[in-house]
Structure 1
Amino acid sequence: MEKKKVSIVIPTVGGTERRKIFLDKGLESLFAQTIPFDEILVLDNSQLQNVREGSKYATDKRVHWKLTGGHLVNALDSWNMAVKSAHNPYVTILGDDDYAMPYAHEEIQKCLQIANLAYLPVMKVNMNGDIVKRPPQNLESEISSNEFRYNIMIGRFWVSLMGVVFFKKDFIYVSGFQDALIPHYGSADFYLWYRLSTQQSKVACSTQNCFCYLHNAYIFDWVGEISSFKDFSKNIINHANLVEQSLVKLGITKTKIFPGGKNGKQKFIDQMCIAKYIQGLSIGIKKKNIEFLSQTRGLINSPISLKGMLTVPIKLIIAFWYKLTN
């Protein structure tokens, strides 16, 4: 088996002591790989540019530290710089509070023998290490890029910042992470993976759970620039229509695009709007930011259905309960 050269990059904003602890834990998980990564790169986008000083591995030669100058306000810019700074043909991303299973790189190598783009299942775990969401099981080792896009659309494949290994040249060709007020959760450009898959005819899938996403802050700890709820709700219908049109062109019937039966498209719009609304409200409360709080008043004028609107108080209670108990 010809070994492919892979970089794993960790963009970080530093900040809290908790993040420093989790960053070191993430690095330890990379040091413990059955096959070492060819490069571990940490991109420091903190204001004080001092993440390295707070790490136990500040002088460890296995880690390549890079500074942004602390001027990248948008998290997407930080992620793009991290990928472009990698020195190998293949790249995968790790969140600064997440970690890898010991066999993750071994699975990546198996996948790269099949295709230049691979899906690596990610488990969501809580602060105690308990699994709160398992990825899909019994995956085929190879699927078409059309199937990959469809699995993301229906929620079977969960990918945000990590969970994919890709060809760096493809990432640059599709312009990396973008933020054009397309509806998304947090600052993640969810549809980067759609664009990347257009560059490959097939996608390899690992049959093992490779990474752990720390589900520690729910909606209360987003970083980076976040488009306003007003802009979000204005764009969501056009966005849903474009997703629908593109998947129909792939040969997928309309009834199978949005999960949830004949009202699946509206349920999708409701889900996205509610998540965005609660996100803005929680940030406004946490940061005492009047601007964010005022943006959330647009709920009534948004395209959310009456049924969806009635679920908002329940979801708010769940969100705050989760915050208080974790």
Structure 2
Amino acid sequence: MSNLNIQITLSEKKKDKLPTDQLVFGTTFTDHMFIADYIEGKGWHNHRVVPYAPITLEPSATIFHYGQTIFEGMKAYLSEDGVVRLFRPDQNMKRMNHSADRLSMPQIDENHALEALVELIKVDKEWIPKDPGTSLYIRPFMIATEPHLGVSASKSYTYMIIMSPVGSYYEEGIHPVKILVESEYVRAVAGGTGNAKTAGNYASSLKAQEVADREGYSQVLWLDGIERKYIEEVGSMNVFFKIDGEVVTPALNGSILDGITRKSIIDLLKHWSVPVVERRVSIDEIREAHRTGKLDEAFGTGTAAVISPIGEFRYQGELFYVNNGETGELSAKLYDALTGIQKGTQEDPFGWVVELNKK
């Protein structure tokens, strides 16, 4: 986005804010949103902060028919001293451009995108909840808007940012979840769009999630789409295993999303001198580690939950439990460290946090 000049139109009527304990993830939105438009040959223009409201698109808009859309997920945190913090926002914008390239969409100027985000947060700062575990969830996204029925990249796009106050992901502290290993459906394959953050990846995951829900499981563990034996992600999160003292996570292979929480966990473990390796991990290896008593912990990582401990797997009718179904020591330590850095209650030795209004 070039020639950034943000026009601000404030809402004439503010929305009522729900108490923190009534917030449901992704259902309450702030008073304003950011919008910018793109036309081939003109580039990004008409940058504006406007009241949150429905948008109008042609029924023939490319997004509806050919699925050209990408998005990001990030959070803003308000500490007790009133400082607003963002966690590695540069990585979100970098990944957005990676996704845009894969979907044949225009690149954004990452610095200008951050500038727009900061401006929007300033306008709606009062929406950031203060209670422990709470935050302001931020959703930047881009959609193809050209009114054209033809399988080709759109010539026009809209980039938007909307924001939603969210309560604590774990109301009573982090607790392990039950995971169903998926053996019929696949999430993505190398060469596809699995390493881009695009809507189709999530739409294709819904059927397997319905099955997991019916069986009483929180999420599915995805296996690779070729051999159906190598672990990729858990639900919409990256996944880690602690096996005989070493932490292992599936290596990025073109079908696994390069999670920002994932890379932060890896850096934290290295900082603590905890052995951590990225490589192929088969479900048979995990089953054998459980059988021999070497599967110490397992957990998912992502923006929403940060750390989601896994207490049980079911694979081909076989159950195997992790750490007696309890949250592991390392999982809890990682959760406390990362949320502490995000909130500003713990030291940030990596320079990950961007403070927006510190005096």
Regarding TM over 0.5, the answer is: no
Highest CA radius of gyration, 1 or 2? 2
**TM-score with structure 2 length normalisation?**
0.29
**TM-score with structure 1 length normalisation?**
0.31
> Higher strand share goes to which structure?
2
> Higher helix share goes to which structure?
1
